Structure 1
Amino acid sequence: MFRGVHNLSIDVKGRLKIPTRHQMQIDEICTGKMVLSIHPDDACLLLYPLKYWLTLEEKISALPSLNIHSKRLKRKLIGHATDCELDGASRILIPATLREYASIDKKIIMSGQGHNFELWDETVWHKQLDNLDTLSEQEKIPVEVSQLSL
């Protein structure tokens, strides 16, 4: 499981170094082979080990092709998917089109989400957290969340 928030930088060539604490796990899960795509609803990128991506891609591909929500998800998530592999320095290249989608410039937040990571521009990340706080104050807490014990 990938956990934690990491403040990172991308180099001038658009490469991101994977934090040391995740390198061995990524190597064990997928021998460094990963997939990078856009998030269908947020201005961030999703980074999956190939093994977990293939499971997700299979589920998405099985959705009804004429359903507008399925079509949107396929076009955004699968259509923008890019294979990437950790290089010898444990870096991945983030293509310019994906960096542009997520407004990623130099400073980046890498947030572990269990089986994958979210990659955010640092400024956008902080705005998103503030926005979530504001929105959650306007919504009733779902029963599933209120029953969760921390």
Structure 2
Amino acid sequence: MVRPAVALPRANGCFSYASAHYKVADYGPLRAFGRTCVAETTLIGIDVGTTAIKAVLIDARGNRLDSFSRPYPIARPAEGHAEQDPGDWMEGVLAALGQFEADHDLSGLAGIGICSQVNTHVFVDAGGAPLIPAIIWQDGRSAPARPAGGAGRAARPKTAR
């Protein structure tokens, strides 16, 4: 799966596209606030969670203008396994953005914040296409390789301050 560039509405010239690698020169939410009426400024928050994509569109005052949720399955092909299709995540994010764009004027869009589930691994080929389903944080297949007492306990005194 090659990550497609997602066309975003322009916020007074500050946002023209999104990609996996945003260039600093293209990032201008603070400039957008300076040139856009506060009432027109919008923000999008997206949570790529364990059970669903959840997204919200808010104005600069924090008022919820719209929301989106799309669940997706967790595959459990064997005891202790927990996997998901990364394509479900991308489809959900694009569907949320599509809904917001269809139902609202996003010309004042000043930013998009994204968070995701922790400790989830996606192994990809050179083109970015997933090789296998994503191994999510609930997967326990590495438990037999874990040292007795947990490696985290031994590492903490050496790394935490």
Output the TM-score relative to the length of structure 2.
0.23
Q: Which has the higher contact order (CA 8 A, sep 6+)?
A: 1
- Report the structure, 1 or 2, having the larger helix content: 1
Q: Which has the larger radius of gyration?
A: 2
